[in-house]
């Protein structure tokens, strides 16, 4: 039996530690720890990696601290457009949704696309209709709105900027925080899975889609080598197929997980101006959580161990 493990992330960026109160930091640490523990429990009980990552990302979507689901950022038109993807490393099946505004948990809609449709990616109203037909309850778009995110939109409009997540009053600067959540896991049967979800970018153009719902860019899993979930400059992660590149470097170049992650995150992404990070677990249970920004909300835990969580670079996990 494989030593099961799960890892999660809640975004990466340049951290303004001086503006993060100990109380606020503890809110993030507690949230990350609780979600890692929830994933560990599923794996400990013999649950699949696919179930573990789906539930972990659903919980991240439910937490307004993170830019996915409840607490998602606003587009330039004051709307919410949410994206998510999930992939099964055993079958290489994947499901994704993009630009949805009335699905409480986009990751659950993505899972339904994986399991109950012949497609991989569905968008907008069509994706929402499919999800409702499959039993998900539609919700009002206002469910995702928070006052903090609305004020962030007003500031972005005033400065005519497209912001990537929190503002200076939060632990990560708006210009350098990538608002994505994700999870990767290896279960007791040796199966890998990955899931990624995002609320997008503050003040982004309507219809913009980043790497999060794209297989191989922001999300990838293959039992042959690795499961990956990314957070960062979405356009660069798309252009480099960052998640799949980890798998390719392991398969074709014979690199270890750590070597492949280092190559992509520290060399290939920055060469194109890409910033951010990723979480990855290989089929041997090795864990990598690299990021080229100042920090990344992250955590991991092997079944039976206490969660290991961190925000800043000096909190090495």
Catalytic residues: 180
232 is in an annotated binding site: yes
Residue in the block written with tokens 């910033």: 275
**Calpha distance 73→146 (Å, rounded):** 9
* Coil, strand or helix at 62: helix
**Alpha helices, H only, 45-171:** 49-62, 106-116, 124-133, 147-159
Decide: 140 and 102 in contact? Cβ < 8 Å.
yes
Decide: 6 and 56 in contact? Cβ < 8 Å.
yes
233 is in an annotated binding site: yes
234 is in an annotated binding site: yes
**Calpha distance 212→201 (Å, rounded):** 12
**Calpha distance 71→80 (Å, rounded):** 10
Give which of 238, 263, 229, 268 is closest to 249, Cα–Cα: 263
208 is in an annotated binding site: yes
Give the strand pairing for 226-232 and 295-302.
unpaired
The counts of H helices and E strands in the chain are 9, 13
Calculate the CA 303 to chain-centre distance. 21
39 is in an annotated binding site: no
* Coil, strand or helix at 49: helix
Say which residues have a Cβ less than 8 Å from residue 194's Cβ, sequence separation at least 6.
53, 86, 87, 89, 182, 183, 184, 219, 220, 221, 227, 228, 229, 243
Give which of 192, 178, 223, 216 is closest to 6, Cα–Cα: 192
301 is in an annotated binding site: no
Decide: 213 and 196 in contact? Cβ < 8 Å.
yes
210 is in an annotated binding site: yes
88 is in an annotated binding site: no
Binding residue numbers: 208-211, 231-234
Residues of each annotated binding site for substrate: 208-211, 231-234
């Amino acid at each position: 039996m494989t030593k099961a493990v799960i890892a999660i992330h809640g975004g990466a960026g340049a951290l303004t530690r001086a503006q993060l109160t100990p109380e606020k930091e503890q809110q993030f640490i507690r949230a990350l720890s609780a979600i890692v523990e929830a994933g560990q429990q599923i794996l400990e009980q013999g649950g699949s990696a696919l179930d573990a990552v789906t539930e972990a990302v659903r919980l991240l979507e439910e937490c307004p601290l993170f830019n996915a689901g409840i607490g998602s950022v606003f587009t330039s038109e004051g709307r919410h457009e949410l994206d998510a993807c999930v992939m099964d490393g055993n079958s290489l099946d994947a499901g994704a949704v993009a630009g949805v505004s009335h699905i409480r948990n986009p990751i659950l809609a993505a899972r339904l696309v994986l399991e109950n449709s012949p497609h991989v990616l569905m968008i907008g109203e069509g994706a929402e209709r499919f999800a409702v037909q499959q039993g998900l309850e539609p919700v009002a778009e206002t469910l995702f709105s928070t006052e903090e995110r609305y004020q962030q939109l007003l500031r972005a409009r005033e400065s005519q900027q497209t912001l990537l997540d929190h503002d200076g009053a939060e632990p990560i600067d708006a210009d350098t925080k990538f608002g994505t959540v994700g999870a990767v896991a290896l279960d007791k049967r040796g199966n890998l899975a990955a899931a990624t979800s995002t609320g997008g970018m503050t003040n982004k153009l309507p219809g913009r889609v980043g790497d999060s719902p794209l297989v191989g860019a922001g999300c990838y899993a293959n039992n042959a080598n690795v499961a990956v979930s990314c957070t960062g400059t979405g356009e660069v992660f798309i252009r480099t197929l960052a998640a799949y590149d980890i798998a390719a470097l392991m398969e074709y170049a014979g690199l270890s997980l750590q070597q492949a992650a280092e190559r992509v995150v520290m060399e290939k992404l920055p060469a194109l101006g890409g910033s951010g990070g990723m979480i990855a677990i290989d089929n041997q249970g090795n864990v990598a959580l690299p990021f080229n920004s100042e920090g990344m909300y992250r955590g991991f835990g092997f079944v039976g161990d206490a969660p290991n969580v961190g925000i800043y670079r000096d909190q090495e996990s």
